[in-house]
Structure 1
Amino acid sequence: MEINQISAGVLNVGYVEYGPVNGWPVFLCHGFPYDVHAYEGAASLLADAGAHVFVPFQRGYGSTSFLRPDTLRSGEQAALGYDLLALMDALKIEKAIVAGYDWGGRAACIVSALWPERVTALVSGNSYNIQDIANAMEPATPELEASFWYQYYFHSERGRRGLEKDRRAIAYLLWKMWSPTWTFNDEVFETTAAAFDNKDFVDVVIHSYRHRYGLVQGDPAFEAIEKALSQQPAITVPSITIDGDTDGVCKSTAAHAGKFTGPHQHRIFTDAGHNLPQERPELWAQAVLDTRKM
């Protein structure tokens, strides 16, 4: 896998490219705690279908680095959306299909909601991924609260130290908990886990899981974007949203349908957990292809 680098916004972004340079553009965005390898299968299938696919490392992962030492290592949702838009600008891609899950789904949803003129269509794992930070302290069901243990752990300095000390063990446990029917081996995990050695990984992850609960301030550079997101904007572009029926952290998100005011389908991947594109690459690629007919 060849990693390319490009300066985009506040980052030097590492990304993998698939398919013909004159193909129809697609951006595939990974989540926490995963990396670009989640899309190897789906991206290859899309490339075979004529897509020009870009798969970036999120801030804090792999070879993506900050251009300046004084930039806040923010993991807030506005930063993720900004990073995706900045990458599209740097690559001179005017309009594309954007797709992702977890953090990557959040980035794709944000660009689709705030800059719909830049988006041909959206594929989003777990549907409407834009956080409602103003209401983040409202409790969920006990079952859902239990699945968020890692988020509450990261709110404490004990959790920060735990992530610094053994990020691989935490990520491995989450993979097992979130995708109980996915049989992956140690080689598959280690291939991705190398991306967590990024020097900014811990800072970005901790900031992300604190900011979404209003526990830390965001980057002032993204204040306007966060203000727009606080309105919980509808997504108007053609969209396919997906849940895995064995997802151990995000339960059914079919109720998010009202946030999608354009053409919209919701799909369930059978025997799939949270890491949808890596567990079901054929179905993920098909969802991207199907958005072109909407």
Structure 2
Amino acid sequence: MSRPPTFVPPAGARAYRLRTARGEFAVVDAPVPAGVEPRGTALLLPGFTGSKEDFNPLHEPLAARGYRTVAVDGRGQFESAGPAEDASAYAREELARDVLAQAEALGTPLHLLGHSLGGQIARAAVLRDRSPFRSLTLMSSGPAQIAVPQQQRVKLLRDALGVMTMAEVWEAMQAMEAPEETDAGLDAGLDDRADLRRRWLGNSPAQLIATGLQLCTEPDRVAELAALALPFHVVSGARDDTWPVPLLDDMAVRLGARRTVIEGAEHSPNCDRPLPTARALADFWDGC
């Protein structure tokens, strides 16, 4: 589970519900400050069990470079509503259509970024209609299904969600968590536990079951993506247990993509090393 440094939007950002043709989605929208030349807008999609708050550390440095950033909770994710039991509502094609509706509502050509699961949803949206997008960045998001050890973890979660409540699953996950991970949250001086629990309980169990299955069965669609005339960027930490870094290196080659490895970061460079991550993103977008 990603751990955003804070659930409070940065100064100048606004949290609201974005109205689209496919319903409302909770967003954090960070505009470019006065005195900075606007250079573009980016739509940011979070990963599995994550949320829009995972991008909070990126908003200010990207705004300083001239980029408005809009981070969104997907359907059934944290503060965006979604059916609790209808898994068909979270089919990959449905989630892709949601992204296209969000892009239409924002009303401007967008740089699209997806982290982990969000990268595969972003890919599906671009393959359906690339016209709203100026570029695609895949952050810690691989070419196909996740690594086998992660598939086993997701299966455990999906099985638990079939017989336990969200609150019961949360308590079970906390009991299994490594002590050093618990200590890290406490050392940060945050009300980490309460915010993470609130986010977890906000998720639709059907969404987690459906997208968890997708992560374990996603086909390789890199060749389809490479055929599009779109600038690509593959970003990751120097270590990643979900998709091994060499696999991401190879995907970047197949896409003809810009490749950035953030030293000192793992699966969530946006949280682990936000300043170099923001710098790499803005440098790529400038080049587009």
Q: What is the TM-score normalised by the length of structure 2?
A: 0.76
Please tell me whether the aligned partners of residues 222 and 254 of structure 2 are also in contact (alpha carbons under 8 angstroms). no
Structure 2 residue corresponding to 1:99, chosen from 107, 113, 119? 113
- Is 233-242 or 107-116 further displaced after alignment? 107-116
The residue number in structure 2 matching 1:4 is: 16
List per-residue Cα deviations over 1:188-218 (Å, max 9, x = no partner): 45434422222x521111122235556xxxx
Do structure 1's residue 45 and structure 2's residue 45 form an aligned pair? no
How far off is 1:155 after superposition? 4.5
Aligned length: 263
Distance (Å, rounded) in 2 between the aligned partners of 1:230 and 1:250: 15
* Paired AA for residue 82 in structure 1: R
Do structure 1's residue 152 and structure 2's residue 155 form an aligned pair? yes
Distance (Å, rounded) in 2 between the aligned partners of 1:205 and 1:103: 11
How far off is 1:17 after superposition? 0.6
How far off is 1:23 after superposition? 5.4
List per-residue Cα deviations over 1:118-138 (Å, max 9, x = no partner): 211222113545x4xxxx6xx
How far off is 1:27 after superposition? 0.8
Write the mapping of 1:65-104 to structure 2, written as runs, cut at 5 A. Answer: 65-66=81-82, 74-93=89-108, 95-104=109-118
Say if 1:155 and 1:197 are closer, same or farther in 2 by CA, change over 3 A: closer
Considering only aligned residues, what root-mean-square deviation do their CA atoms show, in Å?
A: 3.5
Distance (Å, rounded) in 2 between the aligned partners of 1:15 and 1:204: 18
How far off is 1:103 after superposition? 1.9
Unaligned runs of at least 5 residues, structure 2: 1-8
Write the mapping of 1:93-132 to structure 2, written as runs, cut at 5 A. Answer: 93=108, 95-129=109-143, 131=144
Write the mapping of 1:159-170 to structure 2, written as runs, cut at 5 A. Answer: 159-162=161-164, 164-169=166-171
Distance (Å, rounded) in 2 between the aligned partners of 1:70 and 1:161: 13
Identical-residue share of aligned pairs (%): 13
How far off is 1:161 after superposition? 2.9
Do structure 1's residue 275 and structure 2's residue 268 form an aligned pair? yes
Q: Indicate the SS of the match to 1:194.
A: helix
Do structure 1's residue 196 and structure 2's residue 211 form an aligned pair? no
List per-residue Cα deviations over 1:256-279 (Å, max 9, x = no partner): 134414xx2212222212122111
Distance (Å, rounded) in 1 between the aligned partners of 2:19 and 2:50: 22
How far off is 1:167 after superposition? 4.2
Unaligned runs of at least 5 residues, structure 1: 215-225
Distance (Å, rounded) in 2 between the aligned partners of 1:148 and 1:69: 23
The residue number in structure 2 matching 1:223 is: none
- Is 33-42 or 16-25 further displaced after alignment? 16-25
The residue number in structure 2 matching 1:234 is: 225
Q: Indicate the SS of the match to 1:3.
A: strand
The residue number in structure 1 matching 2:240 is: 247
How far off is 1:25 after superposition? 0.8
Q: What is the TM-score normalised by the length of structure 1?
A: 0.75
Distance (Å, rounded) in 2 between the aligned partners of 1:249 and 1:211: 14
Q: Indicate the SS of the match to 1:58.
A: coil
